[in-house]
Amino acid sequence: MRIAVDAMGGDYAPGEIVRGVVDLTSRADFDDHIILVGDQPRIETALIELGGKIGDKVSIRHTTEVIEMDDHPASAVRKKRDSSLVVCGDMVRDGEADGTISAGSTGAAMAVAAMRIGRIPGIERPAIASQMPTLKGRCLMLDMGANVDCTPQNLLQFALMGSVYAEHVIGVPEPTVGLLSVGTEDTKGNELTKATFELLKNSPLRFKGNIEGKDVFEHTTDIVVCDGFAGNVLLKTAESISEMLLGLLTTEIDALGDGILEKVQPVILNLVRRIDYAEQGGAPLLGVNGVSVIAHGRSKARAIGNGIRLTISAAKSGYVNAIKKELPTIAGERRGV
Amino acid sequence: MRIAVDAMGGDYAPGEIVRGVVDLTSRADFDDHIILVGDQPRIETALIELGGKIGDKVSIRHTTEVIEMDDHPASAVRKKRDSSLVVCGDMVRDGEADGTISAGSTGAAMAVAAMRIGRIPGIERPAIASQMPTLKGRCLMLDMGANVDCTPQNLLQFALMGSVYAEHVIGVPEPTVGLLSVGTEDTKGNELTKATFELLKNSPLRFKGNIEGKDVFEHTTDIVVCDGFAGNVLLKTAESISEMLLGLLTTEIDALGDGILEKVQPVILNLVRRIDYAEQGGAPLLGVNGVSVIAHGRSKARAIGNGIRLTISAAKSGYVNAIKKELPTIAGERRGV
């Protein structure tokens, strides 16, 4: 697989992006190809510093512009045609790359997906799908913030796309679907979820009904669908509560003295790793007509490496074509709206 | 103050409800009056067992019916006129009690508030206000689930009611207001929050703009407004992540052996207490024309005691009248919708 990596996107670009690529491609079992997209002199300097080199596994595609975090996403994508992010998208569209990943502006990556790569025909809105840590592994949740206002039809499509992705990329056989609501009873929810419930119930998907926030972490279902507003609130709440609790705990155990923190710290660090949302490396934009993965803006080398591996797996799985194939199975439900 | 306590509501009723009342009223500094509303023989038996007695501080109001958790809220309130919950509401409406608290069905308590006590004139939807634990104490968040579909006007009213309650009951001088959204920039949000942003910006309230899930726990503002769907998702996520993390941590530290858990446990328990959502005892239904507090269904004696104290403070503060007085200050914004 050839993966276009946005070398200029993210808080630690290009240094940590290049480091992630060098670390990954120096592994003996790596036999794909990374195209570092961005400012060639800066990328080359970083490559040399880190002992990487251009060759079978790594190449550079020079671009002259960068989309900044405070640029307006859509207009930046329209104007900065030679930005690393836009060129990454164009390479996927034109078949020069099998997938792309960026740690830059999520809004701009969404805009590139919509305006340069395009949507899968029939998909109304692409969604960001994140793997949330649970007591039994990870569950796939979407949408995590791409669409703050959704229709029941959008959520039905999210459920289908999530099911296909979970099966093909994560390797979950017969994935189950839950609908995020305010209670588990069938009648609980707001107007959006109540209408979505009916669509899901009548679909061929493995729908298990309404679930609550806590069910996400107990892994009641393999996939959780919700609008991007609720998903984003849940994600940011989970992240900040975890950080707050483990931070308070570390401080207070440290205050106990007696070397206790040293003994407990491995347990805490293990837990931090387990719930580390950067661990998975990135979240795919499902519904885009190509493989496009968004990495966390704060990604360092390890996260970038994980993200690239995810992008490669996703590209190899052929999930985009599988979505195209499965989409007609919910067409009846779509007409029913 | 005379507080009507629903003795039949909650997972541990009437035993733990009566125990909470006995513990609270046996304190030398307690000089209010509790009316235990429910099945007189059962309440008397519990009172005798626990060493409590009828007198200046405690009386019983006999009722013959109970609203069960699986009753349909509105129809149960219509049919079971002699249920403890309905009678509690009627006592507040008729001035026989200065406030009421129940650990029974939240939906039924909402229905009693709407159908028996009534709303404050001009308030469109009452909201459940919870105090969320933060790094700097607690912040008041509403709505936590009473209204899963809201208008911008609803949220504006929530912000006003929360401000009045925070000032009068919690004792926060000049409370600040944040709007839960998916980013802190002014333009971030869904249709609901964008329209609400404009209303809040033009209101006399101390509006600090959009906040994210993490800001709730960092106590960026004293009050956080959101629709009941998002609020409920945030609350349940925060609860379950905390339980999951501290549970995993306890198990894994225990596995370290060497008596380490014994040393660390006080720190964990202290943290559990700090984030214990039952600690505050209950959440007021703001917008109701009287003091009505909802306690957690799993409340035991201590939570009930805390809840009754909260109900007494709320009744003494006169916040209901203060809301009536302040409501016209946002009338211009209401017309602007």
Q: Which helix (H) or strand (E) holds A284?
A: strand A283-286
**Amino acid letter, A298:** R
Residue A211: count other Cβ atoms within 10 Å of its Cβ: 22
Q: Which of B271, B221, B222 is nearest to B246 (CA)?
A: B271
From the CB of residue B34, how many other CB atoms can be counted at a distance below 10 Å?
Answer: 28
Q: Report the C-alpha gap between B88 and B74 in whole angstroms.
A: 16
Q: How confident is the model at residue A330 (pLDDT cuts 50, 70, 90)?
A: very high
pLDDT reported for residue A277: 60
Nearest to A236 among B214, B253, B264 (CB): B214
CA distance A16 to B207: 39
Residue A191 sits at the vertex; the CA angle it makes with A186 and A195, to the nearest 5 degrees, is 60
- Joined together, the tokens standing for residue B295 give 């306690």
- Interface mutation vs chain B, best among A143, A148, A193, A196, most B CBs within 10 Å: A148
- pLDDT of chain B along its 337 residues, tens only? 999 999 999 999 999 999 999 999 999 999 999 999 999 999 999 999 999 999 999 999 999 999 988 889 999 999 999 999 999 999 999 999 999 999 999 899 999 999 999 999 999 999 999 999 888 888 999 999 999 999 999 999 999 999 999 999 999 999 999 999 998 989 889 999 999 999 999 999 999 999 998 899 899 999 999 999 999 999 999 988 888 888 888 888 888 888 888 888 888 888 887 777 667 789 999 999 999 999 998 899 999 999 999 999 999 999 999 999 999 999 864 444 4
Pairing of strands B283-286, B127-134: antiparallel
Helix (H) / strand (E) element for A331: namely helix A331-336
ω into residue A71 within 30 of 0, thus cis?
A: no
pLDDT at A332 over 80: no
Closest partner residue to A189 (CB to CB) among B148, B218, B241 is B148
Which residue of A lies nearest to B261 if distances are taken between CA atoms? A264
3-state secondary structure of B131: strand
Binary contact (B249, A249; C-beta < 8 A)? yes
Does residue A142 contact residue A128 with C-beta atoms inside 8 Å? yes
Of A182, A237, A263, the CB nearest to B229: A182
| Phi, then psi, of B121 in degrees rounded to 5 | -55, 130
Q: A interface mutation test: which of B233, B250, B268, B271 has the most A CBs within 10 A?
A: B233
Other C-beta atoms closer than 10 Å to the C-beta of A19 total: 21
d(CA B151, CA A109): 31
Q: Could you tell me if A298 and A144 are in contact, meaning their C-beta atoms sit under 8 angstroms apart?
A: no
Cross-chain Cβ contact B213/A228 below 8 Å: no
CB atoms within 10 A of CB A124: 14
CB-CB neighbors (< 8 A) of B135 in chain A = 244, 248
Residues A160-198 have pLDDT tens digits of 999 999 999 999 999 999 999 998 989 889 999 999 999
Interface contacts A/B by beta carbons within 8 Å:
150
ipTM (interface pTM)? 0.89
Using an 8 Å CB-CB cutoff, list chain B residues near A236: 212-214
pLDDT digits (tens, 9 = 90+) for B1-32: 999 999 999 999 999 999 999 999 999 999 99
Mutate to test the interface with B, among A186, A229, A248 (most CBs of B within 10 A): A229
Q: What 8-state DSSP symbol labels residue B83?
A: B
How close B233 comes to chain A (CA, Å)? Answer: 6
Give the tens place of pLDDT for each residue, A254-297. Answer: 888 888 888 888 888 888 877 776 667 899 999 999 999 999 98
Task: Give contacts of B217 with chain A, Cβ < 8 Å.
Answer: 237, 240-241, 244
Residues in contact with B75: Cβ distance below 8 Å, sequence separation at least 6, in sequence order? none
Asked if residue B240 lies in contact with residue A213, where contact means CB atoms within 8 angstroms, the answer is yes
SS3 label, residue A99 = strand
Q: Are the beta carbons of B248 and A268 separated by less than 8 Å? A: no
In the three-class reduction of DSSP (H, G, I as helix; E, B as strand; rest coil), residue B319 is classed as: helix
